[in-house]
Amino acid sequence: MNNTIVDVLAIGAHPDDIELCCAGTLLRLQDLGYKIGIVDATRGEKGTRGTAEGRALEAQKALEIMGFEFRENLDLGDQHVQDTPDRRVKIVECIRRHKPKLVFTHHPIDRHPDHEGVGKLVKHAMFLSGAASFEAQGEIHVPHRLIYWMASWVHEPNFYVDITAYNDRKLEAAKMHGSQFYNPDSDEPPTSISNADFWEKHDIRHRWFGQQINVKYAEGFYVREKFKVDDPVAFFTL
C-alpha cells in the first residue's frame, strides 16, 4: 500500500486525463518544491482504443517523464465511475493515505460520464475524508481546496496558471499515451481525441488560456469556494 504524503494529489478518470488537463501546473508546482502524486481512477480497460495492459505501460512512461512521487490506479471500473458507497470509500482512503493540501480533479459537468463521475465522487469523498464517523481506513484528513480542471468542455475558469515553461514536457508526457491518439496505421475506431487535428486544438485551447493572463500557454481551473484575500495589493501584484 502506497502511503506517500504529498502536497498535491491529482485524481483523473483515465490514464491520460491528468497529462492532458493539468500536468503543466503539476510540473510547475513540483519545481516550486511541492510533492505531487497522481491517481488514475480506472485502467481505461473499456476504452475504444488500446488495452488495459498497454495503457498501464503508457502511464508508467508518462510518469517517468513527469517525475512525480507516485502514480497509482484505483481500478474503479471504466465506464462505470459513479458516486457510490464502495467507490467513495476508495477515494476517502486514498486521500487519507496521501494527506494532500490540494486536490485536483475533473469538473463535474463534462461530455464524458466517467469525468463527471470522478468530479462528483471526489467532491463527496473530500468531505467524508474529514468525518470521523465515516467508516474507512486511515486517519481523518481534510485538504484545503478542491480544484477542478477542464476536459472535454470548457467552463469559465476563475484562475489560470502559466505553464509556458512546462508545456513541452506536458506534451511529451501526454503523447506517451500513444494508443489514444492519431495513428495513420491504426485500424481501431476513431475517437474525439484520435483525430489528426487533436494536438492543434489542444494547443489552441492552452494558448487561449494563456491569452487570458498575457502568457503563451496556461491551464485554467475552477474553485467553487470564495477566495479570502488579506492583502489585495500583494495578491494582485505578485
- Residue by residue, pLDDT tens for the chain (238 residues) are 789 999 999 999 999 999 999 999 999 999 999 999 999 999 988 877 878 899 999 999 999 999 999 999 999 998 889 999 999 999 999 999 999 999 999 999 999 999 999 999 999 999 999 999 999 999 999 999 999 999 989 999 999 999 999 999 999 999 999 888 888 888 888 888 888 999 999 999 999 999 999 999 999 999 998 888 899 898 888 7
C-alpha cell at 198: 487533436
**CB 27, CB 1: distance < 8 Å:** no
- The Cα–Cα gap between 102 and 36 comes to 10
- What CATH number is given for 8-237 in this structure? 3.40.50.10320
Lookup result for grid cell 463534462: 110
* Per-residue 3-state assignment (H helix, E strand, C coil) for the chain: CCCCCCCEEEEECCCCHHHHHCHHHHHHHHHCCCCEEEEECCCCCCCCCCCHHHHHHHHHHHHHHHCCCEEEECCCCCCCCCCCHHHHHHHHHHHHHHCCCEEEEECCCCCCHHHHHHHHHHHHHHHHCCCCCCCCCCCCCCCCEEEEECCCCCCCCCEEEECHHHHHHHHHHHCCCHHHCCCCCCCCCCCCCCCCCHHHHHHHHHHHHHHHCCCCCEEEEECCCCCCCCCHHHHHHC
Q: What does the pLDDT read at residue 194?
A: 86
Cα 234 from Cα 229, distance rounded (Å): 9
For residue 187, the model assigns a pLDDT of 82
pLDDT computed for residue 193 by the predictor: 85
CA distances from 215 to 3, 162, 176 (A): 37, 7, 26
pTM of the model: 0.94
Domain-by-domain residue ranges, the chain? 8-237
**What is the model's pLDDT at position 39?**
98
161 close to 117: Cβ distance less than 8 angstroms: no
Whether residue 59 contacts residue 13, with contact meaning beta carbons closer than 8 Å, is answered with: no
* 65 and 169 Cβ atoms separated by less than 8 Å: yes
Separation of alpha carbons 144 and 222, rounded Å? 14
